[in-house]
Amino acid sequence: MSEDLKPTYVEKGQEFNRDMRYIPDRVTKDGRVPERGPVNGKLWPVEPGRYRLIAAKACPWATRAIIVRQLLGLEDVISLGTPGPTHDKRSWTFDLDPDGRDPVLGIERLQEAYFERYPDYPRGITVPAIVDVPTGQVVTNDFPWITHDLFFEWQDHHRDGAPDLWPEALREEMEQVMERVFTEVNNGVYRCGFAGSQESYDAAYDRLWKAMDWLEDRLADRRYLMGDTITEADVRLFTTLARFDAVYHGHFKCNRNKLTEMPNLWGYARDLHSIPAFGENTDFDQIKAHYYVVHSDINPSGIIPAGPDPAVWLEPHGRG
């Protein structure tokens, strides 16, 4: 989903509500009607080398897609473009690349891929986004279905031994867990950070910490959210936990305590971070630069804090 480039902030006295309207197209095997999920847009065929995933490592929603792509071994099948951590109101930009252009698409702003397909695209230019390389047009930015379909629709191209991110026997419970993680934690930190009144902040804060305590308890007797193996649920939770102490604790006022003060969640987060797909795609400098610079209403000085020390993430997790 990423940070919506339209104003994220709410009017005084209002509660934050995220705009969940995305381009509903999906990439499926042979362009088939998928067995799971909505079909409200165009169906595009799986085709190795055709698509480029645009995903900023600063953004939690986009980093999910980067992690799943690497876990499944799709690096040589779907290319990756990574915008820089800061942007203006128009679009994410490719300022990390030579000459400030994506080397495959040749564009300076992700906005160009959106406008190539929708000249009057009315909503935020968000990441993650899948772009059709031959036409330069955005395909979809519907973030939960992007990772879902990387697993279900691209299975012919997964690496040998790729993890089963959606175990069939656990899917019903997993959907419930992921829904609670999304509404109460992934989106809950934003509900705190962008609250427009004391009352809405207090309610958001209580909801967040109720869910955090539930997760702490859940992880007391299991290694991962669904048991002994990694699933999509872990990917979805991890990107929020990775940003918690560096950003959400102070910047978003989620400050009852730090992640490092919750033994089960902290050990779990370090356990995941030790896996290359998670740790290699967690860039604390980019994360902090994004939130503390882009959210100028919350941090008008634009000063990026020096801490916390990322070395703590390398300490033994003790979850084996």
Annotated binding site for glutathione: 92
**Amino acid occupying residue 6:** K
Q: Which helix (H) or strand (E) holds 152?
A: helix 143-152
In single-letter form, the type of residue at position 65 comes to A
Q: How many Cβ atoms sit within 10 Å of the Cβ of residue 224?
A: 18
Largest CA distance in the chain: 52
Cβ neighbours around 267 below 10 Å, total: 17
How far is CA 52 from each of CA 49, 118, 184, 225, 305, rounded to the nearest angstrom? 8, 18, 31, 30, 33
Q: Are 122 and 4 in contact (CB under 8 A)?
A: no
Distance (Å) of CA 47 to CA 160, 180, 277: 19, 34, 23
Cα separations in angstroms, 248 against 197, 240, 259? 18, 9, 10
Name the active-site residue from 22, 51, 114, 190: 190
DSSP helix/strand/coil, 101 = coil
Q: Is 255 helix (H, G, I), strand (E, B) or coil?
A: coil
Q: Which amino acid is at 112?
A: E
**Which stretch of DSSP H or E encloses residue 199?**
helix 198-218
Q: How far from 12 is each of 31, 173, 266, 286, CA to CA, in Å?
A: 45, 37, 34, 29
Q: What is d(CA 102, CA 99) in angstroms, rounded to the nearest whole number?
A: 9
Cα 36 from chain centroid (whole Å):
21
Is there a catalytic annotation at residue 59?
yes
254 belongs to the catalytic site: no
Which pair of structure tokens corresponds to residue 125? Answer: 């230019």
Q: Which residues are catalytic?
A: 59, 190
